[in-house]
Structure 1
Amino acid sequence: MTIAALATVSAAFECDGRALPGAYLNDDYCDCADGSDEAATGACADTIYVCRNLPHKPKQIFSSRVNDGVCDCCDGSDEANSTDCPNGCIALATEAFGALSRGCLRRAELAIAAAKAASSDAERLSAARAQLATATPTIDALHDAKAAAEADEASKRDGRAARLAAGEVDTSLGVERLDAGMTLRALVRVALWGGVEGVDRMYDLLVERPGLEEAAEEVAMKARDEAAAEKGQSAGGGGGGGVCDAAGACGHAREHEAALLQLLEPLPEDGGALRAVLRVLHAELGAGATSALAQAARELLAETESPLDDAAVAAALELLEPFRHDEAEAARAAHKAAVEAVQEASEAERQLAPKEAIAASGGCGAGLEWRQLHGRCFEAEDRGYTYKACPFQEMRQGSPGGRASRQQTLLGNFTRWEPVSGERASQLARAGRTPSELGTMRFEGGAACGGGALRRATLYFECGEQDALLEVTEPETCVYEAWMSTPLACSLALLREKVATLEEASAAASLEFRPSDELRALLAAPE
């Protein structure tokens, strides 16, 4: 038997838990509390009329809307005197039955996913708590190690600075042991290492140096012209390494050395002044220039009684390298990694502990499937307001024209699940609504209303193929009622009840009703 065929099945009229004789129907007397026995007369104008809507679900309308020429009930029962209200419950029942079946299938999938997620989250939470339990002594030890390494780093940095300030580089390079002629040759090589810019800077320093300025000015212009003419063949600017590299190889720039020395012959043999210029020049040109100076000094002093100490030179040149303390860097990295790991573990505990607590209290359902709503929020608009419901967390109301995430009013924080009372369930059934068997979520302690009362809200769940916030109403001032659809509310018990109803009705009409194989397999599954 199809759902369409069930629309023709008749049944005795019942209300308030009793069957009424046919003579009591539409007799201008209200026998039923909901006025349903006077659908055709409107004798119960101030009551609620319930559309039975078989084989779909009931619907409530005001009795004043009975026989008003408008088809409010899908079965047309509110317009019994009219032939203009064809029975549309067939299509609605077909759609609802299919949605219920698909919702139950989806819930089964969510239950499987929830079990896996719960197991994974339990492992993560356990690991996070284990890490947090030992985090303090570990981080303290790493902090102490970092502090010790940084203290050593600071000491060595200060020692390095002191060695530089004491002139260890120049001393190790034997600058003080160079006579005036040697100093001039070393100065020329360092200048040539810097190319045209190096030579220019050398002449600027010579001109600026007291005792050398007059002689330097005489040769400066000629020297610069000659150096510029040779620019294409020079060592190149800024540390090109064309004079002498660290291995002692000197390039073609040596060809210019003699010419420059000849140009500088007028300079007085003032070793002290020349050494001062040399110190400034190699310091300005950088470590490469200092290496060039070391090579020049090594050659110049090689035949003297006090040649350079290569070990001392190497140690001095290390002072010019970028300072680095590997132990301190490693200690900082280890401490940072440990702190970040603790932060990650703390965040995992913050996110997962509430789920664990709710699940332990039974708030996530027998299969923990409701946990998939934790941490998610859903929005809807109603009468110009925007609402945001976050199951297990909070509910908020947004100002008209704005998003719920802006200008929010707290309607309440989640406190508990609460079962639907029998009276309330009956009211909802007459309205054609079936809330979740798990109950409703209560949200309390919201923003204050006029008079100091705090807002509160109740969130109902009903079967639906998708998670969505459907509606929010305010039946009392600052008391809100919201409905949300979700596959989690599509219970097998509800599906079995619907199938039993259809089977009973089909049997009464001597018609066959056979669920599909997929539906039969679903019905055979445990709840």
Structure 2
Amino acid sequence: MRFYIIFAAIFWCGFVDSRKIRGISSSYKRFYKERKSFLCIDGSKIIPYEQVNDDYCDCEDGSDEPGTSACPHGRFYCTNLGFRPHYIPSSRVNDGICDCCDASDEYNSRAHCQNTCWNLGQRERAYVEGQMRTLDEGLRLKQQLIEEGVLLWREKQAQLRELQQVAEDLQIKLEEHRRRKHEADRLKEQTLKALGAGNTGLRHHNATVSSVFQLLDSNKDGSITVEEIQAKVALIHDEERVLSEDEVVALMGQDHEMDLPKFQHTLWDALTKSDRVKIKDTHDAPGSPVAEDPHLKAADKAAEWETTNLKKVEEAYETVNMEISDLQRKLAIDYGTDWEFLFLNSQCYQLKVYEYTYTLCPFNQVSQKSTAGTEVSLGKWGMWAGTPKNQYSQMVYENGEPCWQGGSRTTTVTLTCGTETALRSVKEPSKCQYIMVFQTPVACQPVLKQRGIHSEL
């Protein structure tokens, strides 16, 4: 008889104990120590301890019924040994559906639940271990990219200094070429003044007597006639009017034809000393005394040479300054604390989603191209927009092409840890607002590893 009494007592105590602690996490067990009364966890009411888990809701927060579905706001704790523990609404307890992988929520129902926690835990452990391996490899690759970024940054700085030195040298050379061109132009101008068309040039350049005679001698027979002079000589103030025969004969000293010696002592003096007549438009004409003058040819060639050289130096100076501006713009971008994102500059990554091909060029722009060939800008590089703890976890590209509804297209790029650098996904959750997931080793953060695998797995 004593044996049955002891067995019944042990069975009843076990039943009471299991009833008391069902649906309770280990951190809440201190509130459910068996005593005469139970204080609702929210402090709103004290009830007899026998009313805990009696399938009737007494506390407003549902804390007296953690193991039943009596309270509308109650929670049931799934221990899920071997997997992740979690809470479910108490309304799901004994509802015939297995919510806890350890089947603890269906302790008094007809549902036949199997404990799947170990298998789920194995899969999650394998996933977490894979993530840890990916993180380790990602961090290793990130360190390499950091080292490369530092070297590349130094190379860019050295390149900038070299370009700036080249620009300074070109500026000095440019000033020298401008001075030389100015001198060449001035020399040409002085030569032209000395040889210039009309009487002033002829008056100061007697060596051109023979050249002027040859110019007037159109048929090259060694003499000039009235008709030949009419064709080449005109009034200074009325060049369009043809000189009359009498006017020409007067200039020729009453002769109608003359050779070079006679020309030098008659018509030459008239051309050089008269303020009425001049040789027509012979400034740069082939065969003219001015065009044939060796001094002018040399001055003209020198001016042309200096003009060509100046243009070359100006083009080189402009090109170098453009390179300097482009390099300074690139170096002004924030590439991370250790320049780890520098390698992404000048790179582009593509992903095809249905009929569109998306292209992400970090620190430059984002675009979308249809199968028909139409390309649309989804935004230009704006800024980093991550969290305060990790500002380099998100990029924003702004001021893309306008939408038909108004406003410009924008793209937000979220960076995730991975062993490869690639564009992984593109979505358009709202009109003209795009979201991209971009995977790269430099997005891996050592702090992630501190989380480890959950202690209850």
Based on CA coordinates, which of the two structures has the bigger radius of gyration? 2
Which of the two has greater strand per residue?
A: 2
Which of the two has greater helix per residue?
A: 1
Compute the TM-score of the two structures, normalised by the length of structure 2: 0.49
